[in-house]
Amino acid sequence: KAGVTQTPRYLIKTRGQQVTLSCSPISGHRSVSWYQQTPGQGLQFLFEYFSETQRNKGNFPGRFSGRQFSNSRSEMNVSTLELGDSALYLCASGPGDTVETQYFGPGTRLLVL
Amino acid sequence: GNSVTQMEGPVTLSEEAFLTINCTYTATGYPSLFWYVQYPGEGLQLLLKATKADDKGSNKGFEATYRKETTSFHLEKGSVQVSDSAVYFCALVNQAGTALIFGKGTTLSVSS
């Protein structure tokens, strides 16, 4: 069974731009969670989608948003990029019953210049 | 709320040395505890987990025991290999059960 895939793997943007990251979950998984990983703050939960609905949300500004499609693929969008948004963005998929059975993708590394 | 604290790195060891990475937690109730590993350029992989007090999780020679008396979940390996070089994260589920809370990560570097 194929794992979680994330595209693109690397991205360079400039301040003020917006960016969209994509995550394809493991086949059959209906939950997709997003995490931001930075050297200073470590790994922080952004949000979780289940069956096309945002089910849980972390403590991030409204510039961070996401959505999930009917095939469970998910996208996250960051608008008006700031230098501090430079990070590794990790997506995790799971069946949706518990976060204990999540599988992580390789991440998208975003650099904001 | 729930939180986890793990020892700062980096940890530098020679091959075949004994490894301990300390992790302590604060939690309401007794949530499941996890160790994840991140190899260079990759995402997170679940290394092991324990779901209740006194449980021992183990995988690939790594072990960790869920100790409620000391609120700890220390990661140990008897003989590390160069291939174990990675960043290790201790984690638990948040109080609402909706997301994982991670420690800051500990970088392990093993030389031959």
- Structure confidence by residue, pLDDT tens digits, B22-57: 999 999 888 999 999 999 888 899 999 999 999 999
Which residue in A4, A45, A99 is closest to B97 by CB distance? A99
CA distances from B41 to B4, B69, B91 (A): 24, 37, 20
DSSP lists the bridge partners of residue B56 as B65
Residue of A nearest to B6 (CA): A42
Q: Sort out which chain B residues have CB atoms less than 8 A from A99's CB and list them.
A: 93, 97-100
Q: Which of B41, B43, B97 sits opposite A104 (nearest CB)?
A: B43
> What percent of chain B shows pLDDT beyond 70?
100
CA angle B100/B105/B111 to nearest 5° reads 140
Distance of alpha carbon B2 from alpha carbon B28, whole angstroms: 7
**Could you report the per-residue pLDDT of A44-96, keeping only the tens digit for each?**
999 999 999 999 999 999 999 999 999 999 999 999 999 999 999 999 999 87
Mean pLDDT of chain A: 94
Count of CB atoms situated within 10 Å of the CB of B82: 11
* B33 CB-side CA count, 13 A: 34
**Residue in B48, B80, B10, B87 with CA at minimum distance from that of residue A107:** B87
Q: Is residue B101 within 8 Å of residue B92, measured between CB atoms?
A: yes
Structure tokens at A13: 């943007």
- Length reported for chain B: 112
| Residue A19: pLDDT band with limits 50, 70, 90 | very high
Residues 6+ positions from B44 with CB-CB distance below 8 Å: A90, A92, A104, B36, B37, B38, B89
CB B37 within 8 A of CB B43: no
**B81, B86, B92, B96 alpha-carbon torsion, rounded to 10°:** -150
Chains A, B: CB pairs < 8 Å = 49
Instruction: Work out the percent of chain A whose per-residue pLDDT is above 70.
Output: 99
Nearest to A42 among B49, B99, B105 (CB): B105
Give me the mean pLDDT over the B50-78 stretch: 96
The answer to whether A56 contacts B98, with C-beta atoms less than 8 Å apart, is yes
- The whole-angstrom separation of Cα A105 and Cα A2 is 11
Contact B93 A42 (CB under 8 A): no
Q: What is the pLDDT of residue B107?
A: 96
CB B5, CB B24: distance < 8 Å: yes
- Beta carbons of A100 and B94 less than 8 Å apart: no
What tokens appear for A16 in the block?
């003020």
Backbone phi, psi, residue A84, to 5°? -70, -5
Whether the pLDDT of residue B97 is over 90: the answer is no
Q: Which of A4, A48, A104 sits opposite B99 (nearest CB)?
A: A48
Q: A1 falls in which pLDDT band (50, 70, 90)? A: low
pLDDT band at B94 (very low <50, low <70, confident <90, very high): confident
CB contact under 8 A, B42 and A106: yes
